[in-house]
Amino acid sequence: MQTNLLMKYFYKTIFFVFLIAITAGNISGQRTKIKLNEGWRFMRYKANADKLIYDVRPEIKEVNDSKVADAKPDEAVKIEAKEQVLKAWILPTANDFIKDPSQKHVPPAGNPVADFPFIKSDFTDNTWERISLPHDWAINQAFYEGDKPEVGGGMGRLPSQGVAWYRKKLNISATDKTKIIYLDIDGAMSYSMVWLNGHLIGGWPYGYNSYRLDLTPYLEVGNDNQLAIRIDNPNHSARWYPGGGIYRNVWLSKVAPVHVAQWGTFITTPEISATEATINLSLQITNKANTSQKVEVKTEIYVLDKSLKLIGKAVASFPTESISIKAGENYEQGKTLKLKNPKLWGAYTTQQPNLYLARTRLFSNGKVIDQYDTQFGIRKIEFHPTKGLLVNGEKIKIQGVNQHHDLGALGAAFNVRAAERQLEMLRELGCNAIRMAHNPPAPELLDLTDKMGFLVIDEIFDSWERKKTPHDFHLIFPDWHEPDTRSFIRRDRNHPSIIAWSFGNEVGEQYTDVEGAKIAKKLHDIVHEEDPTRPASASQNFAKPDMPFSKEMDFMSLNYQGEGIRDAPAYLHLKGGIRTSPLYPAFQKAFPDKMIVSSETASALSTRGSYVFPVATENSAPVSDGVGGNPVTKEVSAYELYTAQFGASPDKVFATQDRHPYVAGEFVWTGWDYIGEPTPYYSARSSYSGMIDLAGFKKDRYYLYQARWRPELPIAHILPHWNWANRVGEITPVHVFTSGDEVELFLNGQSQGRKKKAAFEYRLRWDEVKYQAGVLKVIAYKNDKIWAEEVVKTTEKASKIQASADRSIIKADGEDLAFITVKITDKNGLTVPDANHKVYFSIEGMGEIVATDNGNPADLVSFSSHERQAFNGLALVIIRAKKGKVGKMKLHIKADGLEATSIELSSKIQ
């Protein structure tokens, strides 16, 4: 105890002297932000982790990893701490995001774990792994296999659970002695706790939120400083793959004592016309010196080009103001200007995503002491009850998808190029909107949606007080729901792509009547306190129009209820779960002044290129063994008729939405496959619900949606493939997805009939075709004119390998990636759709193989393997250039019985 008191006195003394130095000296010196991703040491316990816990957790007695996704959430298990926990020292990190001063947290006296070796500067960590951030400790590891894995299919069968440490030395130069030094962590999964020079300085339990810690009081200027971060990622904490570790960027921010606060600007555009826009700026400035300070504040507006560079001089300026800020306080101001002839931010595809930058500068004695840039867009968003979504006065049908946060074989470790690739393929599909399921994304993802013109529903929670898994967010909801929500809104609210906030997904409080509605209202009001300009809602898969829960929403955000749940003939035998008829009319009648959108639709399931016979005669059916599902291979038929128990086929969803044109649109579950939640086969590793598989290869369903979402694009897509040597003479149905209105099918030159789409029909079916090898051809018509043609051939024997890269030149920054598609082909260059050869990869030169995949949800070979079995003719290799190394790299690809190939790329310095 005496040692702790002496250390506390020492740190306070050092900080006081530090502040005296700040006050006595000049407070000049502009803001610098340094990416702190290199040079970390990492160690994950194999067993017997330390006891430095945030809080105790309930004992898990029984786990059902594969319970249906719309199962009713449970009440929380009450527990009491019987040992010392560190929560009391972590909670004060949240204080800036707690409105009521009486509810803010005061840390206990002393430093609770000062003697733990990993937090000390003299601890030797040379045997620890050297890594760079962002880092997902589980993604390159072996999958758990078997019937009772430690981590089940729901969380992706990867070892994301456990406790790990990250350590890094920080050298703070004497030139920074007058600065305030912050550590900014964009995301750490989860229960992160941070020590600096042996002192516990804070943390944040929720793994998806970004947060900041002030390092200044504990820094030794001019010396090495030891940073240590503990991560504790519990098993059974999610319904999908969470990843493990510090999986987003970490930054060191150096600022003058007087500076723009964290996420300290909020720009709104309440009035917009073709000739003028009103721009409001809310600005928060903080003073961390120990005396009052006078500064001059100036904010100018610049136009950004498509590469986000400034175009010319400032186009407008807010009034300059001189202010005085008392020591230790924040100063808030609001300003307004009129901008002539604004360039509006708009949605893909009919509008342009024009962007501006507001540059705020603080001056002291005529010198710039801080510069803070805010990227924003000028746009008008309206949620209309019958017209749907209006963007700048134009009706935009929401053609959206849900996206989880992992990046396939790269795991949770965020990578800008990988995320951009996902969005590029979704934009090609015709998708114009993303729902962030079910957590805040990496900040850079929202930068991309701003730049590319996607509409976004930004979401914060998958659970509140009631639990979906034993160790999910419900454990920390009472302490953290307010700071998590406020920080989430403040971080993201300047992104023009965000059109609405979601503060909950299918939460158990839908079932608790008035009590659940009270929590919903509390969260709704917090959102509006932070951002009164956007509507807020929580998605509902159970709450009905007459329930209190629904009344607390600004717009109706419905999961599956619009098209009905378990209500079609093929679903009537199912037991358990929610059952309801289509509810669009009931919600529209109950809330005639509120917009309705389907925040989750379909939950259709399929494995790319796999087909199971016989084929359902219904246009929507739940998958089961032998009915669309193959339990041996763990494949789901790609006829795109099969769904989760609570789901519906695209055909059924389209028809329901077309019958109710006041519905603003949909967010399909999902755009891409994701790791975890592998319904219906929980012995697999990843989901079946995407239009694009985990490797980034398009499923047949992609073309069904593209035909609907891009009606101007000539499309005629045939399924299945036509390699069925074991089905000669057997019925092998042929389906066609087209943006045309009429199609004629030919088999080996013989017409199988010409069919025209009927009302509320979205595919054309020839269900009596008998297989014979040869050529399938379709001619699609639109308005009686030839619109598109497509040919599918029976291939020759597999004999070659083809490789193609999404880009041939990549940056040598250690982050940029190239995605190599590998195809198994016949001598004519046709992809052999049933080829499953094992393929071997090696690389020479200035590149390295990051990961491989094939899109098969049941493939449990590690993503880090350089050997990968092709799946239905395809495989993927992800390549990264060695950091700082410029030159050529050559990927060699071979397989037994096939002609080998190679592909050459090069790297450059940006």
Residues designated as active site: 506, 600
Q: Give the C-alpha separation, 116 to 113, whole Å.
A: 6
Paired with 765 in beta bridges are 735
Residue 862's alpha-carbon distances to 417, 690, 865, in angstroms, are 22, 21, 6
* SS3 state at 330: strand
Instruction: Collect all residues with Cβ–Cβ distance below 8 Å to 751 and sequence separation of at least 6.
Output: 744, 745
* SS3 state at 887: strand
Q: Please give the biggest Cα pair distance in the chain.
A: 94
Instruction: Collect all residues with Cβ–Cβ distance below 8 Å to 788 and sequence separation of at least 6.
Output: 714, 715, 716, 738, 739, 740, 779, 780
Q: Give the C-alpha separation, 222 to 225, whole Å.
A: 9
Question: Residue for token digits 């290799």?
Answer: 877
Q: Give the C-alpha separation, 677 to 241, whole Å.
A: 8
* Secondary element (H or E) of residue 11: helix 2-24
Q: Give the C-alpha separation, 622 to 642, whole Å.
A: 5
Give the side-chain half-sphere CA count within 13 A for 642.
27
Question: In the numeric block, which tokens belong to residue 164?
Answer: 């790990």
Q: Give the C-alpha separation, 191 to 214, whole Å.
A: 18
Question: Residue for token digits 């897509």?
Answer: 717
**Alpha helices by DSSP H, 618-649:** none
Q: Are strands 162-171 and 224-233 parallel, antiparallel or unpaired?
A: antiparallel
* Secondary element (H or E) of residue 2: helix 2-24
* Cβ–Cβ under 8 Å, residues 506 and 539: yes
Question: In the numeric block, which tokens belong to residue 209?
Answer: 């939120």
333-347 as b/e: b if 16+ CB within 10 A: eebebebeebbbbbb
Would you list the DSSP string of 23-43? Answer: HHS------EEEE--SSEEEE
User: What's the residue count for the chain?
Assistant: 910
Q: What are phi and psi of 147, to 5 degrees?
A: -80, -25
Q: What's the CA angle centered on 447, arms 446 and 448, to 5 degrees? A: 85
